[in-house]
Amino acid sequence: MAPPHETSAAGSESPVPVVTVDVAAASDLITSAGHRYVDVRTEEEMNKGHLHNSLNVPFMFVTPQGKEKNPLFVEQFSSLVSKEEHVVVGCQSGKRSELACVDLLEAGFKNVKNMGGGYAAWLDNGFPINTPPHTMY
């Protein structure tokens, strides 16, 4: 297992170190170490498939003007997860979740980790997912 590495958001005045773990490490943390998983993809993305027992707090919304940051993200996240809980944050590829982790760390969350590669890497590794039921018309 590769050790976590730290990254920081580009352009921030005081970089906040984000710990990024690969999907295998994230899977271990979620299934064995009691970490909660919060998916920051849109509701539409979540409806196509998601990790078991994942929570969803969209970091961005798709609007007619393009993607816009959810102005209530930290507030909504705080309503589901305490600042002391151990959390793995993921998105489709790992970029939005990294940005989300920066915001969460700046807001005082102590134990958040970014899942590198995101949901796409989760799928590529064959880890289990929940998918919506298929309907026949």
Is 118:92 a contact under the CB 8 Å cutoff? yes
The CATH number assigned to the domain holding 63 equals 3.40.250.10
For residue range 69-126, what is the model confidence (pLDDT) as tens digits? 999 999 999 999 999 999 999 999 999 999 999 999 999 999 999 999 999 999 999 9
> What does pTM read for this prediction?
0.86
What is the CB-side half-sphere exposure of residue 72 using CA atoms within 13 A? 5
Tell me the mean pLDDT in the region 47-57: 95
Backbone dihedral region for residue 72 (phi beyond 0: left; psi -120 to 50: alpha; all else: beta):
alpha
The pair phi, psi for residue 66, each rounded to 5°, is 115, -160
Active site residues: 91
- For residue 5, being part of any structural domain is answered with no
The C-alpha angle with vertex 9 and arms to 63 and 67, in degrees rounded to 5, equals 5
The domain of 104 spans 17-124
Domains of the chain: total:
1
- For residue 91, being part of any structural domain is answered with yes
Q: How far apart are CA 124 and CA 117, in angstroms?
A: 10
Tokens standing for 90? 């993921």
